[in-house]
Structure 1
Amino acid sequence: KQGEETLLIDNSGTDPVFKFAALTEGTYLLTETKAPDGYKLPTKNWTIQVVRNEETGLLEIQIPDDSFLTGNLDEGYNVENEEQSEFPQTGGIGSLSYIAIGLIILMGSLGRYIRKSEN
Structure 2
Amino acid sequence: MKEAYPVIISQEKDGYYVSIPDFDIATQGTSVVNAIEMARDAIGLMGIDMEDDGKPLPKPYSVKVQHEENDIVTLVDVDFAEYRKRVDNRAVKKNCTIPYWLNVEAEKAGINFSKVLQEALQEVLKTSK
Structure-1-length-normalised TM-score: 0.23
Of the two structures, which has the highest relative contact order with CA contacts closer than 8 Å and spacing of 6 or more?
A: 2
Structure number with larger C-alpha Rg: 1
